Amino acid sequence: MKAQAELTVDASGIRWRSAAPIVLRSTGGHRIHLVQGAGGPLGGDDLALDIHIGPGCAVQLRSVAATVVQAGPCPGTAARWAVTASVADGAVLDWRPEPTVVCDGAQLHSRITVALQPGARAVLRELVVLGRAGQRGGRFIGELAVDLDGAPLLAHTLLLDGADPVLTGPAGTGGGRAVGMLLDLGQETESPVPEAGEQPGLRWACSALEGPGRMVLALGDRVTDLLRVL
């Protein structure tokens, strides 16, 4: 399945074009929820969402439930999910979807690309869970690229694979099943948590970027653990 949806926020209001299974719904004020119009994504699906935020505008983008990635009819074929956002001067994008669960045998290649103009801000959160209960989980590749005023601000890649003993070993996730990231980009902000820390079932690190912004990375046993710092 191939689908591309679009969300535009400007001085005239909020407009969107859904494309099943990517269904957008207004939930009041400046908040939009992403609704999965079908199961999946499945291996072989190619899904995309384009976001355009005009000068001085703001939107909160959420999802109503977790995204559950499952293997498709052709073994070894990855699903693809691309989010491209342009955020104009003085605009704010707050994008915090529910977790992405990558089931056994499934593969997901996610790419988020954000272009910020001077004075723009983007708050992005990504939560990934390896497998449903009792599963090891599939393979996840998450790429993130952020530009500020045309210059690179952040490039980050996350590789997870619940069936790979190296990636799940001490040098990888160390047995943790939930991985998360919180980014506050485009403006200087105070750190929401200590620079690094560890609690039962949770480890995290917070770092300032070379340009305006901060990144918090967290690893835990459950999503509820991650949300203590994300």
Q: Count Cα atoms within 13 angstroms, Cβ side, for 39.
A: 6
Residue with tokens 């694979």: 161
Query: pLDDT tens digits for 87-122?
Result: 999 999 999 999 999 999 999 999 999 999 999 999
* pLDDT for the residue numbered 72: 87
What is the rounded CA–CA span in Å between residue 93 and residue 86? 9
44-67 as b/e, with b when 16 or more CB fall inside 10 Å? bbebbbbbbbbeebebbbebeebb
Higher-scoring residue by pLDDT: 75, 205: 205
Per-domain residue ranges of the chain: 2-226
Q: Tens digit of pLDDT for each residue in 36-46?
A: 766 779 999 99
- Predicted confidence band of residue 62 (pLDDT cuts 50, 70, 90): very high
What value does the mean pLDDT take over residues 179-201?
85
